[in-house]
A and B are shown apart, each in its own frame.
Chain A
Amino acid sequence: MIFMMWNLFSRNLLCHLRSKEFFIWMLIFPIMLATLFYFTFSSLDQADQLQVIPIAVVEEGMPEEDSAFSDTVRSLSEKGDEQLFQTQFISEEEKARQLLKDGEIDGYIQYENGKPGLVVREDGLNQTIIKSFLDQYLQTKSSMENILQENPQLAERLPSLFSRETVTEEISLSQNAPTSKVNYFYALLAMVCMYGGMQGLNVVSFLQSNLSAIGARKTVSPAKRWKLIFADLSAGVTVQWLAIILVILFIRFILQVDFGPQLLPAFLTGIVGSLTGVSFGMLVSVPKRLKYSAKTALVVAVTMVFCFFAGLMTSGINYLVEQKAPVLAWINPAARIVDAFYCLYYYDTYYQFFLNIAVLLAMSLVMFGITIFSIRRQRHESL
């Protein structure tokens, strides 16, 4: 029996390894996508250098005694590392309005009722920064006036009184500081695991006599069905797991993305994720009336849905789903795989990690059980 099992397993393994689609699907595609993520998110780190914001200041209506405001704006417009604005001082509001309409400035500041106000065309990060600057100016001005009202002799000490110090210090609750960038890589690995569904699809399709010629030959062979399923499944999961390991090693050592202090739990996540993906594909292949192409469509489409809700395309979706619809989050295998990887990275203990592994194993067991129950003892009088 052991010899037969080994024979079945090794032959299946060779078939998978000789398949060009396997290499492209499981290795080249994820490696290229991971590399793309790496370059995309490396540039996100550089995005923290603020770009200079083009604004205009309308001098019409500006009180002469409020030269401090224009001085402040001029100092922030001086060329250098500290430059925040590129400012045009304009005499009339109409000209500023035209500049805003033409998109040459992100907003203009004009005085109304003795206070500077902001006029913008749309919401955006630059507009928020300009407003934040104006808020701080008005608040500081109000504070100075209040203090001088109480004690006019403090006028000389005002600059030192209003010097700003860093009050906060960001700490990390875990060994690795949380970051949203790694989630994209984990979601990519979840996608690779779930695309093991194609292996699962082939395991059942190549076993059913009404779906393939090889299925017909296997059905008439003397080998017991459970041995055939077990051997095919083992080969599919092994090949999937090998691919995941290679991708994890590439992401960890070439792209330098962290998976936490140890790699073995990451490999374990890969195995369990692969098992879940393969059993998902097996479950999809159960309905007899659906053609192979329809089943492939289901695996592809549903996997993309799972991966979207796990945060592959847009960061933070998985947390939104966990807050609004926690049941959906817990039954999404891709989200569990992403969480398992992130738990290794973020937490110091393994409780959350093993909880996710247990959920994935339970899902695999349920899907596998339904598949076995459905395809057992299938016989055909004729085809």
Chain B
Amino acid sequence: MRVFKACFTIMRRHAVSFLVYFSIFITLSVVMSSLSVQNYSTDFEAERPGFAVLNRDKDSAYTDGFLQFLSGYGKQTELKDEKKVLQDAVFYHEAEYIVIIPEGFTEQWKDGESPKLETVMVPDSAAGYYLDSLTSQYWNLAHTYHQALPSMGEEELIDAVIGDLDISAEVEKEQFLESQPVPLIFEIYHRMMAYILLILVMLCVSTVFLAFKRPDLQMRDLCSPMRPIQMGGQIALFNAVIAFGSWLLLNVVGLCFYGPQIKAVDSRIIGLFILSGFVFMLVALSISLLASRFVKNENAQNIVSNFISLILCFLGGAFVPLELLGPGLLNVSKFTPTYWYIKALESVSGLTAFDSEALRPVWSNLLILLGFAVAIFCVYLVVNQYKNRSEESFGSIQTEIEA
């Protein structure tokens, strides 16, 4: 197993690089999942988003009631009525929703005219849209009461409006499994793992390839009594060990960080998450082997690993949720292995039973993922064969700056 041991020697020579990649990217995986939770969470009602109300009209029971009502759903931020201040508040997301009550609004509204409240929202903010719908509900209902019961006192009217708007439907969350559902942060950690695993495995595998494909080294190896297939097998084994080690490390880190939160989750579900990651690791290994055949130096190594991992993860739904991608782009996504990995994670987290019927979507997604791994590996074998026989193969790798 001399070649296998030689790979470890190469790894030792690049120990600092490997350490930098592993430590930074693993830390990034934890941070990415922690910070991305809010983008996936739909529980914005509980988040109490920041809002501001600028009253350019006279104070009235209606505007006071509106402020009181909205404060029940969000956190009011006091802002000066200056354009720059408001711009900054929206720019830095201090207030996700700003309502400007124009001068004369209440009188026009009471007279039956249709004045409009001016609103400013942080772009694509679900909380902003939610507060906007609450604003519309309040003023429409207040208008209804005012039209229907004009003799009702303002205070009494506002109390009735707020009393009605406080009514909320009971929601019961049915848990079909005895254990708790998978926490969102754990699921996101495994989504982000797709990017981290791809980039780590590609960088590590291509480093080994770069060393072995140096022209002088390659020529000496071909003169050795060891058959190329034996040598290739040992290099492949080392690459598999590296990929397995990366996957293992990422899972250990995930279990350490999120262990307390997944204690009550069924261990079979956690096992399926880990299995999905393992199958994706095989895909990452295949892609890395194939990509490494086109890498000629360290700059190219970084280009290729960043390029492939970012593209696959954006297209596959690791960063942007799949339900937000259009149908055209989804059709393209289905040709990426990351799409099937994300679908596998979604099907695991949505499990309500462990019978064969319930597990069928999980197995089918994992099988497709495995199919990708096998297909890409076959392409690698063909490309490897062609490249090894090519006349240019000996001159294909540039020597490193330092010996």
Contact = CB atoms under 8 A, between A and B. Distances in A.
B229 interface: no
Contact of B92 (A143, A290, A304, A319): A319
B14 interface: yes
A198 B123 contact: no
A335 B339 CA distance: 29
Nearest to B192: A313
Interface in B357-398: none
A170 B120 contact: yes
A123 B42 contact: yes
B209 to A, nearest CB: 13
A178 B89 CA distance: 12
Contact of B123 (A103, A139, A178): A178
Given A198-B299, A298-B20, A179 B137 contact: no
Interface in A312-355: 313-317, 319-320, 322-323, 342, 346-347, 349, 352
Contacts of A135: 167-169
A222 B208 CA distance: 39
Interface in B45-103: 83-84, 86-87, 90-94, 99-100
A116 B169 contact: yes
B324 A314 contact: no
B237 interface: no
Interface stretch (B143-151, B246-254, B281-289): B143-151
A136 B137 contact: yes
Nearest to A313: B319
B403 to A, nearest CB: 10
B42 A124 contact: yes
B267 interface: no
B144 to A, nearest CB: 5
Contact of A167 (B14, B39, B116, B207): B116
A33 interface: yes
A6 interface: no
Nearest to B45: A128
A317 B172 CA distance: 32
Interface stretch (B1-9, B173-181, B269-277): B173-181
Interface string B116-151: 111111111000000011011101110111011100
B114 A29 contact: no
A139 B17 contact: no
B8 to A, nearest CB: 16
Contact of B32 (A127, A181, A313): A313
Interface string A260-286: 000000000000000000000000000
Interface band, chain B: 35 or more
B60 to A, nearest CB: 16
B283 to A, nearest CB: 20
Contacts of B123: 177-181
Contacts of A165: 114, 140, 143
B350 to A, nearest CB: 7
A323 B402 CA distance: 44
B171 interface: yes
A363 B194 CA distance: 33
A316 B90 CA distance: 12
A269 to B, nearest CB: 16
A121 to B, nearest CB: 6
B225 interface: no
Contact of A314 (B39, B172, B298, B310): B39
Interface residues of A, number: 99
Contacts of A146: 160, 164
A142 B302 CA distance: 63
Contacts of B171: 117-120, 127, 131
Contact of A43 (B41, B122, B148, B329): B329
A67 interface: no
B93 A314 contact: no
B402 A314 contact: no
A107 to B, nearest CB: 8
B307 A166 contact: no
Nearest to A157: B148
Contacts of B83: 173
Contacts of A342: 91
Nearest to A326: B92
Contacts of B310: 33
Contacts of A169: 116-119
B149 A297 contact: no
A291 interface: yes
B328 interface: yes
Given A127-B42, A212-B401, A119 B136 contact: no
A161 B164 contact: no
Contacts of A39: 328-329
B92 A322 contact: yes
A255 to B, nearest CB: 15
A115 B170 contact: yes
Contact of B350 (A116, A122, A123, A136): A122
B342 interface: no
Nearest to A100: B174
A101 B149 contact: no
Given A128-B42, A205-B401, A117 B170 contact: yes
A72 interface: no
Given A121-B352, A154-B148, A161-B147, A291 B315 contact: no
B311 A119 contact: no
Contacts of A116: 169
Given A167-B117, A179-B124, A301 B20 contact: yes
Interface stretch (B21-29, B216-224, B258-266): B21-29
B165 interface: yes
Given A21-B299, A139-B164, A147-B149, 18 more contacts: A37-B314, A43-B325, A121-B173, A123-B41, A131-B171, A143-B145, A151-B148, A167-B140, A168-B99, A168-B117, A168-B136, A171-B119, A179-B124, A211-B402, A313-B195, A320-B35, A346-B91, A349-B84
23 contacts: A25-B299, A29-B307, A100-B174, A116-B169, A119-B174, A120-B171, A121-B173, A123-B43, A125-B42, A127-B42, A139-B167, A150-B148, A168-B118, A168-B136, A178-B90, A292-B402, A296-B298, A301-B25, A304-B28, A304-B306, A314-B32, A317-B35, A319-B93
Interface of B: 13-14, 16-18, 20-21, 24-25, 28, 31-32, 35-36, 38-39, 41-43, 83-84, 86-87, 90-94, 99-100, 114, 116-124, 132-133, 135-137, 139-141, 143-145, 147-149, 152, 160, 163-165, 167-174, 176, 181, 195, 199, 203, 207, 297-300, 302-303, 306-307, 310-311, 313-315, 319-320, 323-329, 350, 352-353, 400-402
Interface of A: 21, 24-25, 29, 32-33, 36-37, 39-40, 42-44, 46-47, 97, 100-103, 112, 115-125, 127-128, 131-132, 134-136, 138-139, 142-143, 146-147, 150-151, 154, 157, 161-162, 164-174, 177-181, 198, 205, 211-212, 290-294, 296-298, 300-302, 304-305, 308, 313-317, 319-320, 322-323, 342, 346-347, 349, 352
Ranked 4 nearest A-B pairs via Cβ: A43-B326, A134-B169, A294-B16, A301-B24
